[in-house]
Amino acid sequence: MRHIALEVLKERKTRILSAIIHHHIKTGKPVGSDVLIEKYNISLSPAAVRNLMAELEEDGYLTHPHTSAGRIPTDKGYRSYVNNLAKLQSFAIKEEEKLRKEYEQKHNEIETFLSETSRILSGLSKYTGFVTAPKSQYDEIKNIELIQISNAELLVVLVTQSGMIKHKQIEASLSTRQLKKLKYFLNEKLRGVSVAQANTRINTEIIDFRQNEDEILKTAEKISYVFYNIQDDIYIDGTSNVVTFPDFNDFEPVKSIIKFNEDKDAFIEMINKDFNSSGINVKIGSENTLDEFKDLSIITTVYKNGECAVGVLGIIGPKRMEYERMMSLVNHSAEMLNRFFKDKDRLGG
């Protein structure tokens, strides 16, 4: 009988916690026992509900503002709520149709597609959407073009298998013959090599050049630094959505959401820690390793080129967000990107 009683108690606590979080997400206000009984069909006495709420607070799932008798969820409470979602809530039909239409109207260019994905994530969530470009260690070189744009400047254009295009100007002056020879060398040695490995590969292969090709050697070394300095890109949209959200009116950390849009390296490093994880990842408040995100939740997942995960996309928003809907939005967006790469490969793009 004791075992059954404990199970019943656990079920009641779970139900009350879910109801409190659901109501707080909708209203932004502390939740009292009377609201739970009236609106969430909690068939217990007010005293019993208050006792369970007190126990949940003692366990660290709830807290209460000093000016209110009602409770609000803690990071631990939100985490329990997310972990107990039986499955992602079905996407609203209207939103799913809108998502598909947005994607179908876009060009078959990866930079445009990634940028639009971040915009769509932001537009549909009303928060901040982001997508990282395919990571350099997983994106292979498809072609390299060299264009002498002035007597002293050479444009290096890199095209990757995913469709990313990178270009960089370097100081160099080569004859037509030298350009042709260097271009042949680079494509022969680097095609199919990951962007991250290109710098090492060039420096390994460069000794094969004949000694009388000093100018080509110098230019090849400069080009190797182009690959060495390529950084992972990220596309971000809707920063102002988070800043203007009512929850953040009194939050000092709101300034950090602006700062991270200017200095993205630490943020990219943080979200890449879940790069090898499967499914949807949710970081709530203090679970984020960067202090500036301790009042925010971040929902991420990876997108794939074939079977290989190549980038991360997600949403940044308040802890008081509709987790089921946001998780579903992130999941659907990743599926769209997976389909984009699959179709691109099938069509030889």
77-134 pLDDT, tens per residue?
888 888 776 444 444 445 555 655 555 554 446 778 888 889 889 988 888 899 988 8
Cβ neighbours of 334 (radius 10 Å): 23
Residues 6+ apart with CB under 8 A from 139: 160, 161, 162, 164, 194, 195, 310
Residue 88 lies in a domain: no
The answer to whether residue 219 is domain-embedded is yes
Decide if pLDDT at 249 tops 60.
Answer: no
Residue type, 142: K
Give me the pLDDT at residue 259, please. Answer: 60
For residues 46 and 73, state if they share a domain. Answer: yes
Does residue 19 lie in a domain region? yes
CATH number at residue 149: 3.30.390.60
Give the pLDDT score at 112: 80
HSE-CB for 345 with a 13 A CA cutoff: 11
| 257 shares its domain with 221 | no
Residue 67 scores a pLDDT above 80:
no
Overall number of domains in the chain: 3
Domain membership flag for residue 281: yes
User: pLDDT grade, residue 253 (50/70/90)?
Assistant: very low
DSSP per position, 246-286: GGGTT-TTHHHHHHHHH--HHHHHHHGGGTT--S-EEEEGG
In a domain, 52, yes or no: yes
Query: Is this structure's pTM higher than 0.75?
Result: no
- Host domain of residue 110: 93-135+233-346
| Helices and strands (H and E) in the chain: how many | 13, 10
CATH number of the domain residue 30 falls in: 1.10.10.10
Domain boundary among 183, 206, 228: 228
Query: 135 φ, ψ to 5°?
Result: -65, 140
- pLDDT tens column, 186-221: 898 888 888 888 888 887 777 655 555 667 777 877
> Which residue matches tokens 């984020």?
288
Least confident piece of the model among 71-85, 252-266, 324-338: 252-266
**Same-domain pairing of 121 and 269:** yes
Whether residues 249 and 308 fall in one domain? yes
Give yes or no for residue 229 having a pLDDT over 60. Answer: yes
Backbone torsions φ then ψ of 301, nearest 5 degrees: -155, 165
Same domain, 265 and 187: no
Examine the fold and report which residue of 169, 204, 228 is the final residue of a domain before the chain moves on. 228
Name the percent of the chain lying above pLDDT 90. Answer: 16
Residue 238: inside a domain: yes
Distance from C-alpha of 110 to C-alpha of 162, rounded to nearest angstrom: 7
Q: Are residues 129 and 238 in the same domain?
A: yes
Final residue before a domain boundary, out of 41, 61, 83:
83
Do 78 and 194 fall into the same domain?
no
Considering the domain architecture, whether residues 128 and 239 belong to the same structural domain is answered as yes
pLDDT of 341 > 50? The answer is yes
Query: Are 23 and 150 contained in the same domain?
Result: no
Q: Are residues 123 and 237 in the same domain?
A: yes
187 and 224 share a domain?
yes
Q: Is residue 64 part of a domain?
A: yes
Instruction: Give the Cα separation of 135 and 87 in Å (integer).
Output: 30
Residue 328 included in any domain: yes
CATH code of residue 264: 3.30.450.40
253 and 126 inside one domain: yes
- Gyration radius (Cα) of the chain, Å: 26
Mean pLDDT for the chain overall: 79
* Residue 88: per-residue pLDDT: 40
